[in-house]
Amino acid sequence: MKDILFIRPGDDSSAIQVAAWGQAVRQMAGSLQTDDLCGAQATRSNVDKKLSADFRHLFWFGHGTTTALIAKGQALVDAQNISNVRGGVVVAIACYAAVTLGRSAKSGSNPVAFLGFDDELGFPANAPLPMMFAVTRGLSCLFQQRHDVKYAADQLRTQFDRARMEYKQNGAKYGLSPSDARTAWLFAKSNRYSVRTHGDIQAVL
């Protein structure tokens, strides 16, 4: 059984940004075995094939709806195949997926835990760096200290708070006008309050 499948479709400009965050997270994996479906490789058939190869965890960086993780309008992960994540954790850096899809995670089932967002995951396209740091630093505890899903959710919230203050205090440093900086820190604030977990929040990688 392999450890983590990363999926990073990069199917539009915002998904390309988020895919880069996923690559940064993947580099933290250390001794954990990982595989990666990126760009054009991220198709439903390829996802189904990879999940049938017994991955314990799934990390998604891209678009989402309440019921699916999607690329080019097609569901790549949904209720039909999420149960093929073999008893581990699903992390979805995507909009909305914690609303319904994430509720499939239950202790003793496949998957056992879900970490994601129940609203839009927003960031300024021309100044994404503080939000990237919020995500990568927030998730790093799963790898570097082997903390659990609850701790990672708390760390994401803390890091989005830091991103909010960075945009608020230093927006001009990123080339943002005062109104754009306000939009950016409101994105960060919304992201902070949209972090949700389901299932066994004590699950670890």
Nearest-angstrom CA–CA distance, 35 and 55 = 9
What is this structure's pTM?
0.97
Q: What is the 3-state secondary structure (H, E, C) of 117-178?
A: ECCCCCCCCCCCHHHHHHHHHHHHHHHHCCCCHHHHHHHHHHHHHHHHHHHHHHHHHHCCCH
Nearest-angstrom CA–CA distance, 191 and 22 = 17
Predicted pLDDT of residue 107: 84
Strands 113-117, 195-199: pairing is antiparallel
Task: Give me the residues of the chain with pLDDT under 70, please.
Answer: none
For Cα atoms 171, 172, 177, give the angle at the middle one, nearest 5 degrees: 85
pLDDT in tens, 101-138: 999 999 888 999 999 999 999 999 999 999 999 999 99
Give the helix/strand (H/E) hosting 40: none
pLDDT in tens, 132-151: 999 999 999 999 999 999 99
Predicted pLDDT of residue 110: 92
> Which three-class secondary structure state does DSSP give residue 196?
strand
Contact (CB, 8 A) for 108 and 201: no
Predicted pLDDT of residue 109: 85
Query: φ and ψ at 87, to 5 degrees?
Result: 75, 20
Predicted pLDDT of residue 194: 98
